[in-house]
Amino acid sequence: MSATLTDKRRAVRDPHWLRGLMIGGTLLAAGLLLLLPLAVIFIEAFRDGWRGYLESFNDPYAWQAIRLTIIAAAVAVPLNLVFGLVASWAIAKFDFFGKSFLISLIDLPFAVSPVISGLVYVLMFGLQGWLGPWLSANNLQIIFAAPGIILATVFVTFPFVARELIPLMQEQGSEEEQAALSLGASGWQTFWRVTLPNVKWALLYGVILCNARAMGEFGAVAVVSGHIRGKTNTLPLHIELLYNEYNSRAAFAMASLLALLGVATLAVKTIIEWRLRQVQLASLEPSTVEPS
Amino acid sequence: MAFKLKSRSVLPGFGLTLGLTLTYLSLVVLIPLAALFLKTATIPWDRLWLMISEPRVVASYKLTFGASLVAAAVSALLGFIIAWTLVRYRFPGRRIIDAIIDMPFALPTAVSGIALTALLSKNGWIGRYLEPLGIKAAFSPLGITIALVFIGLPFVVRTLQPALEELDGEAEEAAASLGASRFTTFVRVIFPSILPALLTGFALAFARAIGEYGSVVFIAGNMPMKTEITSLLIVTKLEQFDIAAASALAVVMLLASFAVLLAINVLQWRIAKRYRGVM
């Protein structure tokens, strides 16, 4: 009996040489393709030690770029956070005609390449755009100015929060909300006390991904920015500028900030995923330990 | 009342939330995208055709689609090896590798772009070993392809992982107990059941690659006819204030990526239908 079991086990297990080869291949690919690019950023940034690294930040344009990056994220993330909550309430708690089509439309910005995401706003608000003549007559500027950068950032980060919340809220259904309402809670109370606590981890997950993309976006903002140093450069655009001026130490120093943000985002994401799995396992437990 | 737009619910806020959703969606996404198609529609057909078929543009399509296709194929192969290893084997460092798979999603594209260029240029850590072999990794189609593999890899790994986790091993055991070798079991049992996920990952990587900009422009070298991708050509046209040509190229690229994503959906729908037929 035990012999056939080990035979069976052997039959579905890969031979040792194959295991070694696959693990080796994975470590090599992850090392060369994922870790080495990350390492090179910090090594180039610290080429001249700490002093050289800090010197790279002695640049008012860099601080203006950091400021604009933070402003763009500070507008885009809350807007898309509120949108995510509103859209997922409408989609997950009600049944209506055209719902799956609406979900596809919300995901649309993911299918649009970054350069095109910027271009559509140039076509709307640029000098030759639909609203261009009216804007310039009223002395308003959107393209080649901060509003254009903010708009492009809002566009590329549009689906992040909504797409984390919608599937989760659909799965949770609306029984708890119905119970709260029938016990006399108002709509707002139900939302704050029942719905929001139920989705908080997915919400946080969506927000950190949204923020990472907002601060790191390059293609879309490159198109609408006009690259005016100290005015319409975000951090990624400032990195491009420094790099093209062969000021590679400073370019990598700026890149190290965004790389740190990326690593922090990955770390938080991994912790949240781990937590969500714990919650899921805990809810599965009673059925798996049923006495036979 | 046979056909209802919305079924009855006791929850409040349907009108408000759906109204806000549609308004915001229209303002931020739908109207600007419509502007792109309207702009392109105002171009006379013969001029439009010249814009999207001039030799420099055609060279950029060939490069963009060719490099994206090769990169998606390489991502599919590497992604399979990584996903299989992460799901099937236990080894030290597995969880760290699993976490860093998303690095290309987390790193801004411009940062990945300069980092890959620094590695692959002829003085770089990797480039200096390739140079004596006569391999020019940076500022060549090879460099573009490597950047696109970097960007595409997480798509394949993350779509394959759940599919591999779902394989329960019973079918494999059955095949083995009927005398199939490990290789036969893989080809006849495992591979067909993960093929849909593999194709989806491949298509997602491909769709992302054809629109990619930031991670490619630094390493590409951007020589017209040789290493100029279509996204960059759109930016170039814009900088020359040739907005019509930029829009025309954008519509071509957009339709191409929509076609790829539609193909994924059709594929998934057909597979779902086949499963339903079995049950």
Instruction: Measure the CA–CA gap between B237 and B251, rounded to whole angstroms.
Output: 14
Q: Which residues of B touch A120 (CB under 8 A)?
A: 32-33, 35-36
For chain A, the domain total comes to 2
Do A8 and A94 reside in the same domain of the chain? no
Q: Give the pLDDT score at A9.
A: 56
Do A66 and A92 reside in the same domain of the chain? yes
Q: Give the pLDDT score at A288.
A: 47
Q: Could you give all domains of chain B from N- to C-terminal order, each with its CATH number?
A: 65-226 (1.10.3720.10)
A37 in contact with B, Cβ within 8 Å: yes
- Whether the per-residue pLDDT at A292 is higher than 50: the answer is no
Instruction: Measure the CA–CA gap between B82 and B76, rounded to whole angstroms.
Output: 10
The burial class, CB within 10 Å (0-12 / 13-18 / 19+), for B170 is exposed
Do A105 and A14 reside in the same domain of the chain? no
Q: Give the pLDDT score at A285.
A: 61
A11 in contact with B, Cβ within 8 Å: yes
Which DSSP string do the residues of B6-74 spell out, in sequence order? Answer: B---S-S-HHHHHHHHHHHHIIIIIHHHHHHHHHHHTS-HHHHHHHHHSHHHHHHHHHHHHHHHHHHHH
Mean pLDDT of chain B: 90
Q: Give the pLDDT score at A215.
A: 96
Q: How confident is the model at residue B185 (pLDDT cuts 50, 70, 90)?
A: confident
- Note whether B219 and A40 are within 8 A (CB): no
Task: Identify the weakest region by mean pLDDT among A10-24, B104-118, B209-223.
Answer: A10-24
Do A85 and A189 reside in the same domain of the chain? yes
- Whether the per-residue pLDDT at B99 is higher than 60: the answer is yes
Do A140 and A239 reside in the same domain of the chain? yes
CATH code at position A82: 1.10.3720.10
End-to-end, the C-alpha distance of chain A in Å comes to 22
Do A260 and A124 reside in the same domain of the chain? yes
Q: Give the pLDDT score at B181.
A: 82
Q: Tens digits of per-residue pLDDT, A92-125?
A: 999 999 998 999 999 999 989 999 999 999 999 9
Do A52 and A155 reside in the same domain of the chain? yes
Q: How confident is the model at residue A167 (pLDDT cuts 50, 70, 90)?
A: very high
Instruction: Measure the CA–CA gap between B183 and B190, rounded to whole angstroms.
Output: 10
Q: Give the pLDDT score at A279.
A: 77
Instruction: Measure the CA–CA gap between B21 and A93, rounded to whole angstroms.
Output: 14
Do A7 and A96 reside in the same domain of the chain? no
Interface of A with B in 59-78 (CB under 8 A): none
From the centroid of its chain, how far is CA A9? 42
Q: H or E stretch including A22? A: helix A16-29
Encoding tokens for residue B171? 């079918």
Do A87 and A160 reside in the same domain of the chain? yes
Q: Give the pLDDT score at B9.
A: 78
From the centroid of its chain, how far is CA B142? 18
Do A144 and A232 reside in the same domain of the chain? yes
What's the domain range around A6?
Answer: 2-41
Q: How confident is the model at residue B1 (pLDDT cuts 50, 70, 90)?
A: very low
Q: How confident is the model at residue A166 (pLDDT cuts 50, 70, 90)?
A: very high
How far is the alpha carbon of A120 from chain B, nearest alpha carbon, in Å? 5
How far is the alpha carbon of B272 from chain A, nearest alpha carbon, in Å? 16
- Whether the per-residue pLDDT at B279 is higher than 70: the answer is no
Q: Tens digits of per-residue pLDDT, A251-280?
A: 999 999 999 999 999 999 999 988 888 877
Q: Give the pLDDT score at A8.
A: 52
Do A78 and A173 reside in the same domain of the chain? yes
Q: Tens digits of per-residue pLDDT, B42-91?
A: 999 999 999 999 999 999 999 999 999 999 999 999 999 999 999 999 99
Q: Give the pLDDT score at A4.
A: 53
Instruction: Measure the CA–CA gap between A99 and B157, rounded to whole angstroms.
Output: 29
Do A246 and A226 reside in the same domain of the chain? yes
Q: Which residues of A touch B84 (CB under 8 A)?
A: 22
